[in-house]
Amino acid sequence: MKSWVRLNDQESDMVWNRIFEEFKFQPSTTMFPSFSVPAPFITFDVSSYYKTKSPEVLYENLENQVLQAFRNLTSKDELIYALEWQHEGYWFNPHDDIPKDEFDEWLIPPFPNGDYPFYLEQNFNWGYIGHPWERSITVFGEALIRSLENHKPKLFQQIIRERYYL
């Protein structure tokens, strides 16, 4: 199985409609947050990426830690959604080899570098969403929060907001 399988138009429309409806997603350069996720969630400030002398080290660490967290939550043949606002969406298998593009990034980068990356469990029980202008990453769902506690990216040091009802 490939790590990235393009969503067909029907799948893409269905998942984006769900995102707009369930997360009240309103892309914005000034409204923070521009989505609402269910509790529990934590939103991390990732602006330190832009202040470091070696952002590539933080970026690689983010990719590695997030990948491990996703692998802990999925079976070897389980697919999750990988989306980026106004781009093609994919089924993503975190257990396969993850090829990188000409910019040395995943097809849907986990860092919000100008776009909103979304990684969502098929039933939206957990997810990972980046906000490019707030310079934040929000994770929701108890399972993903706990998995990222065990595989915490170096960028996840400062919390902007959280709601943790278990």
pLDDT at residue 166 greater than cutoff 70? no
The residue to which tokens 């429309």 are assigned: 13
Residue 1 in this model has a pLDDT that exceeds 70: no
| pTM of structure | 0.94
Domain that holds residue 108: 4-163
Token pair in block for residue 120: 């969502």
| CA–CA dist 72, 91 (Å, integer) | 17
Within 13 A of 139's CA, how many CA atoms are on the CB side?
20
Please write the tens of the pLDDT for every residue from 33-65: 899 999 999 999 999 999 988 899 999 999 999
- CB burial of 25-51 (b: ≥16 within 10 Å; e: otherwise) equals beeeeeeebbbebeebbbbbbbebbee
What average pLDDT does the structure give for the chain?
Answer: 94
pLDDT single digits (tens) 105-152: 899 999 999 999 999 999 999 999 999 999 999 999 999 999 999 999
pLDDT of residue 122: 97
How many structural domains is the chain composed of?
A: 1
Please tell me the predicted confidence (pLDDT) of residue 159. 92
The DSSP result for 5-40, as a single string, is EEPPHHHHHHHHHHHHHHS-----SS-SSSS--PSS
